[in-house]
Chains A and B, each alone.
Chain A
Amino acid sequence: MSIFRKKKKEENKWIKCKSCNETFYVEELEQNYWICPKCSNYFRISARNRIKITADEGTFKEFDKKITTKDPLEFSDLKPYKERLKDAEAKTGNKEAVVNGVCEIDSQPCVLSVMDFAFLGGSMGYATGEKIIRAIEKAIKLKVGLVIISSSGGARMQEGILSLMQMERASAALSMLAKKGLPYISVLTDPTTGGVAASFSMLGDVILAEPNALIGFAGPRVIEQTIGKGLPEGFQRSEFLLEKGFIDVIVERKEIPKYIGKFLRYFSENVKK
Chain B
Amino acid sequence: MLVLDFEKPIYEIEEKIDNLKKMANEQGIDVMDEIYALEKKKNEIIKNEFENLSIDKIIKIARHPNRPYTLDYVKYIVEDFTEVHGDRSFRDDKAIVTGFGYIDSQKVAVIGHQKGKNTKDNLYRNFGMANPEGYRKTQRVMKLAEKFNIPIVTFVDTPGAYPGIGAEERGQSEAIARNLYTMFETAVPIIVVVTGEGGSGGALAIASGDKIGMLEFSIYGVISPEGCSSILWRDTEHSIEAAKAMRVTAKDLLELGVIDEIIKEPLGGAHRDYLQASENIKEFINKGLSELKALSKKKLIERRWKKWREMTTKFL
Q: Which residues of A contact B (CB under 8 A)?
A: 67, 69-70, 72-73, 75-78, 126-127, 129-130, 133, 155-169, 171-176, 193-195, 197-203, 215-219, 222-223, 226-227, 231-232, 235-236, 244-246
Which residues of B in the span 254-295 have a Cβ within 8 Å of any Cβ on A?
Answer: 256, 258
CB A218 to nearest CB in B, in angstroms, measures 3
State whether A78 touches B233 (Cβ < 8 A). yes
B315 within 8 A of A: yes
Residues of B within 8 A of A201 (CB): 173, 177
Which chain A residue lies CB-closest to B129?
A226
CB B297 to nearest CB in A, in angstroms, measures 13
Residues of B within 8 A of A203 (CB): 177-178, 181
The 30 sampled A-B contact pairs (Cβ below 8 Å) are: A77-B238, A78-B233, A126-B312, A130-B312, A155-B201, A157-B222, A157-B223, A157-B231, A157-B232, A157-B246, A160-B245, A161-B248, A162-B256, A163-B222, A165-B312, A168-B204, A175-B181, A175-B185, A193-B173, A194-B201, A201-B177, A202-B171, A202-B178, A217-B161, A219-B163, A223-B165, A226-B164, A227-B164, A236-B168, A246-B171
How far does the alpha carbon of A158 sit from the alpha carbon of B242 in the complex, in Å? 9
State whether A175 touches B184 (Cβ < 8 A). yes
Checking A78, A175, A197 against B232 with a beta-carbon cut-off of 8 angstroms, the contacting residue is A78
Q: Which of A67, A70, A75, A175 has the most CB of B within 10 A?
A: A175
Residues of A within 8 A of B6 (CB): none
Among B27-35, B110-118, B303-311, the stretch in contact with A = B303-311
Residues of A within 8 A of B223 (CB): 155, 157
Known interface pairs A164-B221, A172-B305, A223-B168; A199-B246 also in contact (CB < 8 Å):
no
Known interface pairs A163-B222, A198-B176; A130-B168 also in contact (CB < 8 Å):
no
Residues of B within 8 A of A226 (CB): 162-164
Residues of B within 8 A of A67 (CB): 316
State whether A202 touches B177 (Cβ < 8 A). yes
Residues of B within 8 A of A246 (CB): 171, 174
Checking B221, B231, B315 against A72 with a beta-carbon cut-off of 8 angstroms, the contacting residue is B315
State whether B204 touches A167 (Cβ < 8 A). yes
Known interface pairs A133-B309, A165-B311, A165-B312; A160-B222 also in contact (CB < 8 Å):
yes
Checking B245, B304, B315, B316 against A75 with a beta-carbon cut-off of 8 angstroms, the contacting residue is B245
State whether B245 touches A77 (Cβ < 8 A). yes
Residues of A within 8 A of B177 (CB): 167, 171, 197-203
State whether B312 touches A198 (Cβ < 8 A). no
Number of interface residues of B (CB under 8 A): 55
State whether A244 touches B170 (Cβ < 8 A). yes
B172 within 8 A of A: yes
Residues of B within 8 A of A172 (CB): 180-181, 184, 208, 304-305, 308-309
B228 within 8 A of A: yes
CB B312 to nearest CB in A, in angstroms, measures 4
Which residues of B in the span 179-229 have a Cβ within 8 Å of any Cβ on A?
Answer: 180-181, 183-185, 200-201, 204-205, 208, 220-223, 227-228
How far does the alpha carbon of A30 sit from the alpha carbon of B17 in the complex, in Å? 79
B59 within 8 A of A: no
State whether A78 touches B231 (Cβ < 8 A). no
How far does the alpha carbon of A199 sit from the alpha carbon of B177 in the complex, in Å? 4
State whether B163 touches A198 (Cβ < 8 A). no
Which residues of B in the span 135-182 have a Cβ within 8 Å of any Cβ on A?
Answer: 161-165, 167-174, 176-178, 180-181
